[in-house]
Amino acid sequence: MELKVTFATAQLPGQGLLSCTGDDARAFLHAQLTSDVAGLDAHHARRAGWCSAKGRLLATLLVVPHAGGFLLQLARDLSPAVAKRLSMFILRAKVNLSDVSDAWVQFGVWGAGAAQQVGELGFEVPRDVLHCASNERGTVVRVAPERFLVLAPRAEQSRLAQSLAHCEEAAWTLAEIRDGHPQVRLATQDQFVPQMLNLERLGAVDFKKGCYPGQEVVARTQYRGVLKRRMVRARAPVPAAPGDDVFADSIPGQAAGTIVNAAALAEGGSEVLAVVQISALEASEPIHLREPAGPVLAPLALPYA
């Protein structure tokens, strides 16, 4: 009798990883990121953004507690530059910040049988979303009800790949899109304030913590109602890519938004997260991909309000 596979897995080479350790690592990250790192315990991960002084996102991050500090997941194409730029703010703090993308491997596990599979690999299964568990073999984060991120030292790659490399990374990207989890990449860096990407709805912005780069802009956007663009999920009848422009008829001569993330569909076309002018969304206007008369995006629901 053939066993039914109830989970899917993929290695994630498109994801980078920074290590931040040292006596002042927690205070340093708390002062730099949009979310509360000071109150983060060893069993919880947290989403965050890192902004420019103008409040534009230089990276979206998953902050994961690790021995002596934290691991920061971000887009691989940003990790070297973000590590270099973030290091400039360390000054006299006791912080060691480095790009460890090549020293670690990352895998995604998802589906109804994902938790069982994680347990069979020798990891404790985090019970709630954004809970995490660590041992000598690595760290597991539950990033959605039936999705897990596995971070492990490079020495674990061969062992894990036997069980956790069945799909292409695009399948994990599609699952991230369907959960409404955006990721800033090189093509979209320094374009969005956090609310454009729904980060406050994902718990990635703390409006009660102290200052961080861009904090005044982020707070003004929240409390003065000046947000003009917002992220939505949609289907495109053709392939799309991060950084592609989108257009609306009511905004002639300029783009009405940008593709944030995209994943190809087996049946053709793609699913996307796109930041779009709110006025065009409220008017239910057709949103065109790449050019004013380009293919029309079909709106899809996000799992949060």
Selection from 174, 182, 123 nearest residue 148 by Cα? 123
Determine the longest span between alpha carbons in the chain, in angstroms.
Answer: 63
CB 85 within 8 A of CB 102: no
Burial class (CB in 10 A: 0-12, 13-18, 19+), 165: middle
Domain at 253, CATH number: 2.40.30.160
- 202 and 162 in a common domain: no
Q: Which helix (H) or strand (E) segment is 44 a member of?
A: none
> Residues of 26-49 as b/e, b for ≥16 C-beta within 10 angstroms?
bebbbbbbbbbbeebeeebbbbbb
Return the number of other C-beta atoms located less than 10 Å from residue 75's C-beta: 22
Per DSSP, what are the bridge partners of residue 73? 17, 62
pLDDT tens readout for residues 190-200: 999 999 999 99
Percent of the chain with pLDDT over 70: 98
- 266 and 138 in a common domain: no
**Owning domain of residue 83:** 8-168
- 191 and 113 in a common domain: no
pTM over 0.75: yes
In a domain, 181, yes or no: no
Strand 46-51 to strand 15-21: parallel, antiparallel, or no bridges (unpaired)?
Answer: unpaired
CB 279 within 8 A of CB 260: no
User: In which region does residue 61 sit, left (phi positive, over 0), alpha (psi from -120 to 50) or beta (all else)?
Assistant: beta
- C-alpha distance across the termini of the chain, in Å: 43
- 164 and 192 in a common domain: no
Average pLDDT, the chain: 95
Residue type, 20: C
- 214 and 140 in a common domain: no
- 218 and 110 in a common domain: no
- 207 and 100 in a common domain: no
100's tokens: 């460890």
d(CA 172, CA 170): 5
Overall domain count for the chain: 2
The better pLDDT of the pair 129, 165 is held by 129
d(CA 243, CA 193): 15
Sign of CA dihedral 174, 178, 179, 180: positive
- 31 and 144 in a common domain: yes
CB 96 within 8 A of CB 22: yes
- 250 and 120 in a common domain: no
Confidence grade of residue 1 (pLDDT, cut at 50, 70, 90) = very low
Domain at 137, CATH number: 3.30.1360.120
In a domain, 243, yes or no: yes
Confidence grade of residue 68 (pLDDT, cut at 50, 70, 90) = confident
d(CA 65, CA 21): 10
The pLDDT of 46-72, averaged and rounded, is: 97
End residue of a domain, out of 114, 139, 168:
168
Q: What angle do CA 199, 203, 205 make, to 5 degrees?
A: 60
Q: What is the pLDDT of residue 5?
A: 60
